[in-house]
Amino acid sequence: MKFTQFNEEYNRLYKEEDSLYHRLARHFHLSSSAFWVLYTLEAAQKPLTQTELCGLLCFSKQTIHSALKQLEREGCLRLSGGSGRNKNIHLTEAGLDLAARTVRPVLRMEELAFLDMTGEDRERLLTLHRQRMELLLHYAEPLFHSSQEE
């Protein structure tokens, strides 16, 4: 397989997966960022800070902040302890109910897909994805250090 064919198919699959989660968020009447915040809090099964959410989701602080404010206005979460981005984010009863109707079925969908794969295939998928990420980061370094002037 040539690089152009591989790259086209890999990117198509990546975008298809991204589109699936975007469609799920919309189906549940959530913004994508609110969906991912709710998903991450539900999956963690413990309070997280805004800084932790930013790190886990690879979203900007502004994006996370907007999603948190939206969910807080809707009574789905509350903040406690610490200051600023170090406050713990808890799902309220309304947030737990929303998670039960939205992200829990998605987590179950992911678990079923996981269970349908062999243990070897699961390991191979993670190993190859990790290897590709390491290589991309390695080859990205010179780009980060190059000048953007023409």
33-87 pLDDT tens trace: 999 999 999 999 999 999 999 999 999 999 999 999 999 999 999 999 877 778 9
> Which pLDDT belongs to residue 150?
59
> Which pLDDT belongs to residue 147?
83
- Percent residues over pLDDT 90 in the chain: 91
Distance between CA 131 and CA 79 in Å, rounded? 37
Burial class (CB in 10 A: 0-12, 13-18, 19+), 85: middle
Q: Nearest to residue 65, comparing CAs of 91, 87, 47, 95?
A: 87
Distance between CA 76 and CA 91 in Å, rounded? 6
- CA 119 vs. chain centroid, Å, equals 23
